[in-house]
Amino acid sequence: MAASTGERETVCVTGGSGYIGSWLVRLLLHRGYTVNATVKDLNDEKETKHLEALEGAESRLRLFQIDLLDYDSIVAAVTGASGVFHLASPCIVDRVLDPEKELLAPALKGTNNVLTAAKTLGIKRVVVTSSVSAIIPSRNWPADVPKSEDCWTDEEYCKQKELWYPLSKTLAEKAAWDFAKEKGLDVVVVNPGTVMGPILPPTINASMQMILRLIQGCTDIYEDFYMGSVHVKDVALAHILVYENTSATGRHLCVESICHYGDLAAKVAELYPEYNIPRLAKDTQPGLMRSKTAAKKLMELGLQFIPMDQIVRDSVESLKAKGFLS
């Protein structure tokens, strides 16, 4: 499936203007692909300008405006592509006023619309971006076993605790697998942890808000859905690896390591002692077993994860460069 010299395959990236999407578009262009990237509003420079500035964009990037609930708009973006990377999904971790409208419907119906378009148009393979939020919280998982791709988020627990984002990612991923099985579509999934690192868009995303809040002294404990961090470049590369390697199947946990939120806080405090980082308990998430090899499926495909020190440094320096942090 890899693009080769003289034969530049076209792929579609939904959510192309987002944090992960922008990096994926960047790496795909670098590898020689032609990219149909989707945005919410073609007239919003915050969505388009940074993409149009990417190397190779002038000749091999096409932007499409879509609404996940508008099937015809998705068909237009997917037409002519050999593969699809489905990243577009609302990411609201807190302050959800209408869960069904803001998160659940766009995630679930949007996924079904994208997969339907892909099947109808004869797409080879669809890479769906899920999350570790479709793996945790999972309160019934054995405490002495590291979380893995076999673990699924407890939907009832999410409803009880009003954890709408993990619920949306879980329902959307399950819908993708159901669709793949029923319709015979080749689907593969990437489950990133808390994605951090250099920001390409002009806006800040939810995962980078997490480290910004930590630096600003907030003591939020993300015990329900923090499972470890991963560099945004590695997440983008993981998508390409599972697309290009036909041997890649199923879910792919994408984290530098499984760790606790307290581990992240301690690392930021170590590297940036000038900030007043809250001191958190060592084990902020009882029942979450640490692991350095949780993402072994991606490691076997050749992904060498950027270490936590560099993830934190790249994140903080990018927050400074973008003006979010002084």
Task: List active site positions.
Answer: 169
Report residue 294 as tokens: 């949780």
Helical H segments across 96-205, by residue range: 99, 105-120, 155-161, 164-183
DSSP 133: G
Phi/psi at 150 (nearest 5 deg)? Answer: -80, -10
Question: H or E segment at 24?
Answer: helix 19-30
Q: Cα-flanking dihedrals φ and ψ of residue 318, to 5°? A: -70, -40
Strand order in the sheet with 10-14: 61-65, 34-39, 10-14, 83-86, 125-129, 187-192, 250-254
Q: What is the DSSP letter of 306?
A: P
How far apart (Å, rounded) are the C-alpha atoms in residues 89 and 87? 6
- Give the CA diameter of the chain: 55
Q: What 3-state DSSP class applies to 294?
A: coil
